Structure 1
């Protein structure tokens, strides 16, 4: 009976000892000696059953007087023994700015509201060594070093330039169009292309209405009249009459036309040459006769129109003038756009200065 009671008592002792060893708390420091301002790490490890809950010590700014806590890492949890045990590790980064030997008291962890303490630690903090043999010797300031070129420092500036460039080009285009009294957007109108003889007859009608020869300008009158005929001949017969002399034009036309149709044209060109180069002053009826001769030549040499032929389209740019009210509105808009652009440039320059300063 006594032996049986002794066995029970021994089993209870070992069970109590096993329970007491179910939670272990251990603390270690990676460096026992540091210089002022350097850092050291304290690792706190807690081993416990997986079904238990541990609460680590919560420090604010200092571990003890003179030892400051710089950072508290997030706890790291590992499962051991097929998930039956848990190992929790937490690191504390500490530093000190006073040289001394510091006693770091045990760190207390609560496991199911029961305290468990680690062993105490020590930390020796040394001051920076001073050359006492040469107290007057010191090192001056170092020269300014040029920072290496890094594209990342210029990304903001490049982005601002790319964003502002379209606005600047649009403002320049807007100001130029307003200054030239032209519309912001050019209107394009599609009209049928007139045959050469109709274009020439319209130009001759304009010359007739202006009556330049009656203003004492016979040279201008014959220049416009012969240029109109040269343009017609180029479009009608296919050779560059604008770069040819009157004689060359007549000789070229003789290859394709009868002499009677060209006799009046020859007279017109001769009179024009006398006016332009010999300062000849023709009579009023002579000017009218030459105008009629030009019309007769065009009518006698024009191509026969095909009623079934479709007119060839051509694009004609229409330039419209603006009213005074439109100019005022565009001017106000341009001023507001310029003010907004200047404000954006100033703001971006300020931000860039603050960024690189």
Structure 2
């Protein structure tokens, strides 16, 4: 009695919480092309996870519409209602097979239903005939790529005109409003204008020193023909001393020293933010004024120009001109590139804000498995016993005999392997079939363990395994092993965390295996895996 009660206690939870899928259809007879509306209902508790299949075909009927799941709450339980629109374009009698619904990871099957598709009778004597319709215009499958192309072209055009605008502004000559007869007249007039501005009295000391030294530099450049405007303070003083010797100018060391003091003081004001006192500013103004007057008086009325000095002056001017042109060109390029990069950055940030970072990364940087999802898929049959499967690429036949041990090869009648990619790449799918020479008792758990162990020779490490039963849409029972592993590429010296799913089926003295591997967390790889698994159809071994 105790044993019976114990067995009853073990079976009680299963009977109480057994999940059931209720199946119904709006009609068992339809005309060609009409829609059969198939309804699947499950009654589960609030903690259960239910996953309805997402397939293109249920048996020989095509799924033309997968409706949203309706949820009806009944106390502490939910009734989930999933509807499918099915159709068939050939007349005849068909069977909607048992459809697996995963409830908490375990499949529960619907009832199979027989339906009949009838021809549509057309009386050509009474039916009015119509001309063939024009070709319908559909949206391009490649999306709105032209919008992005136009945006990039617009950015390029804006960058081009920005470059031309900056170049035009730089090429415009500086026009002096007042024309002076001599350099000394120009310098004295500008000094008087500078004093009338009262810049340093208003606190604009930096602007005052900048204009003061520019007047002196410009005068020296025009009067003595040395590149004073482009020279540093030390270069200017050295050039002035050299010109004084070569041109025999009567310049005292005191005059040159006073000029050098003011130029160095101006450098400190402009670059070191030094603020001279009022009396120091007055002294610097007098030094500049006296230096200009002294230089003017030291120039003889008739100066015989030394050919070597004249050549040197011309070379310095040409060098200064070329340096100025290079600087202008560099400014144009940097400004244009900055404008274009700024607009591109705003464009990308806008896409990230409205579309998300994943959208920008997948569509502009690229994603290999996304290309597989959106590519043209192939539905084909591989091996013996045959496996019909839909894949994003055609699987290539591989030589599997080399990987078999000699003792195992003696027991196998035929083995075939078809594969795309490898476990070291972004995505890998392998389909293998084998048949034995003699009758064997297959243990799918051990077969899964042996298969995963063979992956270690390909670079797999730290394999974590979970197993569960798996049924195809035709009701063929098998085993599913899934989990994560680390793919180690010894050549490149890097490792990648991968997710794998392995299906095994043993029937009629044959073994059929399907392996899917993709990077962990890859949503596109997950979509590929689900689509492949939903398409699996098996054939019996011959």
Shorter-chain TM-score bucket reads: 0.3 to 0.5
Choose 1 or 2 for highest CA Rg. 1
Larger % of helix: which? 1
Q: Decide which structure has greater strand share.
A: 2
Larger relative contact order (CA 8 Å, sep ≥ 6): 1
TM-score by length of 1: 0.35
Structure 2-normalised TM-score?
0.26
